Chains A and B, each alone.
Chain A
Amino acid sequence: MSQYVDDLIADVKATNPSEPEFHQAVSEVAQSLSLVLDRHPEYRSAKILERIIEPERIISFRVPWVDEQGEIHINRGYRIEMNSAIGPYKGGLRFHPSVNQGILKFLAFEQVFKNSLTTLPMGGGKGGSDLDPKGKSDLKIMRFCQAFMSELFRHIGPNTDVPAGDIGVGGREIGYLFGQYKKLRNEFTGILTGKGLNWGGSLIRPEATGYGSVYFAAEMLQTRGETLEGKTCLVSGSGNVAQYTTEKLIQLGAKVVTLSDSSGYIYDEAGIDTEKLEFVMNLKNVKRGRIKEYVEKYPDAVYTAIDPTAEFNPLWNHKAECAFPSATQNEINVKDAQNLINGGVYVVSEGANMPTTMDGIDIFLENKILYGPGKAANAGGVAVSGLEMSQNSMRYSWSREEVDTKLHGIMKDIHKTCVDTADRFGTPGNYVNGANIGGFLKVADAMMDQGVV
């Protein structure tokens, strides 16, 4: 089988030169799927992998626009409609000077599996433009967005392709894009997600990733007949994800003892309660202060500054049962992973994107702890995007509680997919395999069902 994968990767490189990001993404996915492809030759004979790596459609278009000085600018716009086997294409738009076809293909490819894993009916896509929004006036951004949508509108729709925001595309840009679509089509439909709350957006977006990773941890514990109540938890970071992870953990009766930022971390043995969390939220979201200030307010807590020369992060060295890495990439290396195990941690749910290094993951898997990889545990954000689509289709807005309940349900489903898939492929309890294969299978089976199209 590895020869098959090697040949496939060689072929991808030959037919997609100068797209190293895409090569690497295909290579990682193909290798992680060798278990499936070994067991199920039908996927191979149906050339699912060969089909899945080829975008269904690439739209590349000219975006000419005139700025307030009368100067004409030409940018290049893209929409990669990667795969629509399980639902309309869904994925962000990125406005950044680095945008090119290769990068968008790579992002769209990853999006297919990410969306599939949420269990919601969303295909995968990605788009954007090489515009550099830095230092541009609102008017320039508006004119650009209008010009961009003046072409894109004919390719997207609530049942075809529903873009979202990404780098360089926030609430402001989504607003301008939506306005232009509405004008051209003369219809108010949910063709974009990330919309303003007062015109079709969904609640619980800032909370989604943090809440989701806690729900995922709770599900993992359930497999051992346990709950989060009374568990001591290590949380890293102090941004959105960490804050809402902490909030949900407190609600579910767990005790959070750490939070961090790029300068250091605090350890509060008594636990961070609602009042303390409110202080952190104000400190980080309003005052934009450092986490160090926590110990000035609560002197019983201990602050430890980051030692960049150290080979490990002492935050992961405290005794606890659960860990929620919610800060950044590669924040848990092999040594940290070992320290976690030594400190009694047996649940790791990743709120951040790829916070654990590859050899760190190996330690978790070897020790057979409950390890929820980011692509499953932090899918809450994508899930709420899907819920925004659902609300738009129904022309109805759910309350905060309703969205939260639905998010909880989705995280349960993701967990189930991971567990069932891992079981089916002979690696019970291996959530990494479960997530990789589970995301792929849903798409692959749909493609098989729909014939060669």
Chain B
Amino acid sequence: MKEVAEELGVSFLVKNSPKLLDELKKFLINHFGFGDFVFRTRDGEEVGRASNLKTLEEQLAIVPDESILFHSERNHFSNWLKARTEFWLAKHFRPKKAEDYQSVMELRNDLIHNIHHYQEMMQRGIITEFNRENFDPKNSFARIGSGSLGGKARGLGFMNSLISNFDISNMFPGVDIYVPSAVVLATDVFDEYLEENDLFDFAINETNDDEIISRFLLAEKFPSDVILKLIEFLSLIKEPLAIRSSSLLEDSQFQPFAGVYQTYMIPNNDPDLDARLDELLQTIRLVYASTFLQKAKDYLKVTSYRLEEEKMGVIIQKLVGAKHENRFYPDISGVAKSHNFYPIPPQKADDGIALVALGLGKTVVEGGNTVRFCPKYPKHLIQFYSTSDTIQNAQQEFYALNYEGKLYTGQNEIPNCLVEKYPLSIAEKDQTLNLLGSTYSPENEAVYDGISREGSRVVTFAPILKHKAFPLPEVLDLFMSFGTWGMGTQVEIEFAVNLSVPKGERKEFAMLQMRPMVMTREAGHIEFSESDKDEIICQSNKVLGDGVYDNIFDIVVVDREKYDRGKSKEIAIEISNINQKLIAEKKNYILIGVGRWGSLDPWLGIPVTWDQISGASVIVESGFKDFSVTPSQGSHFFHNITSFGIGYFTVDCNTDNCFIDWEWLTKSKAIEEYSFTRHLRFKKPLLTKISGQKNKGVIYKPNFLK
């Protein structure tokens, strides 16, 4: 058998071999590019070996032509580079074939040249050990400690090199693009802190959050070399700071840890450096403590990780923004995602989506009213489609750091939250509403761009998105493309913009974070298993949302046979009643009906309001039996659908790819039956799969999930 495999040029392992694990390890090292790069000739003879980019470059200059050809033809270079996360180089080499070059010498030179150039480039954006002498308070990025930097810090390092390597800082006239200066405490500082203060066993076993916080705050021992470096850092930076967690597991592609650990903001403005240091150390202790709080412990339970594996890095970063009286905040905070699960034509899923708000990012993170726009189509703002929608959906308050506040006023206390909420009138006074605001005139029933007129203010970003007062859409579009390309996956970025700069100075666009986009665990590769039409309740190619729903047992369906367009208001009341009952039972359901859900005109659909269907996890909108109405594709509830991650099916045809099995729905026994509406409950769950990338979705009958 082994001979046959060798003849075919494939590897061979015997599963009963007593050395299977060792052999498997060797196989992975040799073939998956995890070990050294071993230069071989076609007959397997080793002619050179490289363990890093530098030695690879050296070896390329001396190994025989035959070996270079052998590896090039098999993409070994790009595979090996990819395994070392050198994606830029890997991608560069991958499409090139040996025959693209006139000679092996040319191929050899190209490889050497690119590897050399890349190493030079990387030096520019590198994360060096913190050193007071060469740390630029504006946009340097350095580390303290030797362990891992944690997930967020890795992302920041990547962005820093991206900006530096491609000279992005100067790409947009009048805009300075940068990563705000930061130091990262590596995870070994965390280990040392826990060890010196003997906290590990206690923290793992303690279940009372308050107890954990107070023990951490009292645990004063901190590595002295770290303290010295922090003193040096604080002597350079006297502006407000954000202290963020950057744990090992955070921001990995498959585990969305966002929001599990704590972030603190401090004014860092005390004239006494010792006082500033104390405050900083306390916040670091608080971030460390957050690793062991119940929220984090509960979260880890549902992942495949153990708490012992988690280690915390801490990013200490200059806060972006400007001081306005006793407030400090950026004009804009936001998040942009390179993939949009709810694209409305002409947008495409890959055009991405951004959510922006005035002030600190708390509004965005906590799901407050933000402006949602596609950077490719910044003027298409569905949430502001009518005056009443604008008033309903626009941001009304903003968050800022209280510049006069003190985070911590004594030992063993819960820290004060210095991020406070302010009304828009304050922003207008601070002049930060000029480029973000619009004016609502009740007299004219209109919302006007800008704030030059009398009326009440709303945040719409109109001067920026419609009148190009700042190239926000363009910058975001660029970063989303770069990020997607660089990370090899869809990305999510966090950013802040400071427009309140002295006259003549460049406005600031600061990148705060870039991480692989969490697309839910199944996303990107949702498989629709081969199934008979008989096994499906509903299928469509016009579906918004993404993911798999496998814990829904209820369907609320409008009986299509009994449906009467003149009675749609009564139907809305029936649905509302069932919805209330299901919410009380804490059961989500699939809602299936005809016409446009939430239609203003009761003749064209069922005029429900969102609170009448708020328990629905999946909503299906279908055409009438006798009458063609343009489907709404969820536009009435768009804000809620996107906020709550609802699946929205539109079934406006009847083909093999797009249908509802009405007959099956009618035959299924109802546990409750009203004049027009039926409530079905099943013993087995109704599996629903939606691929946001393909806009395809299927709802299977209960027996499908065996």
Contacts and interface: CB of A to CB of B under 8 A. Distances in A.
A288 B601 contact: no
Contacts of A134: 344, 382, 385, 635
B10 to A, nearest CB: 52
B169 interface: no
B379 interface: yes
26 contacts: A21-B603, A98-B599, A98-B603, A98-B629, A132-B630, A133-B385, A134-B344, A134-B635, A135-B344, A135-B635, A136-B380, A137-B466, A138-B379, A170-B386, A170-B446, A196-B444, A205-B443, A206-B445, A262-B611, A286-B396, A286-B456, A287-B396, A288-B392, A308-B577, A309-B581, A330-B573
B441 interface: yes
Contacts of A285: 391, 442, 456
Interface in A374-405: none
A98 B598 CA distance: 13
A323 to B, nearest CB: 21
B566 interface: yes
A230 interface: no
B445 A130 contact: no
Given A138-B379, A138-B466, A139-B379, A206 B442 contact: yes
B443 A206 contact: yes
What are the 5 closest A-B residue pairs judged by CB atoms, nearest first? Answer: A171-B446, A137-B379, A135-B382, A97-B630, A98-B604
A314 to B, nearest CB: 17
Nearest to B576: A308
Contacts of A194: 445
Interface string A1-43: 0000000000000000010110010000000000000000000
Interface in B430-448: 441-447
A4 to B, nearest CB: 23
Given A132-B630, A308-B576, A172 B611 contact: no
A309 B627 CA distance: 33
Looking at B456, B596, B601, the one whose CB has the most chain A CB atoms below 10 A away is: B601
B565 interface: yes
Given A134-B635, A308-B576, A309-B577, A165 B445 contact: yes
Nearest to A103: B603
B238 interface: no
A167 B396 contact: no
What is the interface residue range for chain B against chain A?
Answer: 35 or more
Interface of B: 344, 346, 377, 379-382, 385-387, 391-392, 396, 441-447, 456, 466, 565-566, 569, 573, 576-577, 580-581, 596, 599-601, 603-604, 609, 611, 627, 629-630, 632, 635
A134 B634 CA distance: 11
Interface residues of A, number: 44
A77 to B, nearest CB: 16
Interface in A246-299: 262-263, 285-288
Q: What's the dominant secondary structure at chain B's contact region?
A: loop
B126 to A, nearest CB: 43
Interface string A292-331: 0000000000000000110000000000000000000110
B444 to A, nearest CB: 4
Contacts of B444: 171, 195-197, 201
A182 interface: no
A98 B596 contact: yes
Contacts, number: 99
A177 interface: no
Nearest to B581: A309
A102 to B, nearest CB: 9
Interface of A: 18, 20-21, 24, 69, 96-98, 103, 130, 132-139, 165, 167-168, 170-172, 175, 194-197, 201, 203, 205-206, 240, 262-263, 285-288, 308-309, 329-330
Nearest to A175: B446
Contacts of B576: 308
Nearest to B609: A262
A192 B603 CA distance: 27
Contacts of B573: 330
A175 B600 CA distance: 24
B135 to A, nearest CB: 45
A263 B609 CA distance: 12
Contacts of A175: 446
A170 B609 CA distance: 22
B395 to A, nearest CB: 10
A70 to B, nearest CB: 12
A96 B601 contact: yes
A448 to B, nearest CB: 33
Nearest to A289: B396
Nearest to A165: B445
Given A135-B385, A171-B387, A330-B569, 20 more contacts: A20-B565, A20-B566, A96-B600, A133-B385, A135-B344, A136-B380, A138-B466, A171-B441, A171-B445, A171-B446, A171-B447, A175-B446, A196-B444, A196-B446, A197-B444, A205-B443, A240-B442, A262-B609, A263-B611, A330-B573
Among B443, B581, B599: residue with most chain A CB under 10 A:
B443
Nearest to A329: B569
B380 A135 contact: yes
A288 B445 contact: no
Nearest to A263: B611
Contact of B446 (A130, A172, A286): A172
B422 to A, nearest CB: 13
A52 to B, nearest CB: 22
A286 B444 CA distance: 16
A308 B615 CA distance: 14
Given A103-B601, A171-B387, A18 B443 contact: no
A208 to B, nearest CB: 11
Nearest to B636: A134
Contacts of A96: 600-601
Nearest to B611: A262
A262 B632 CA distance: 24
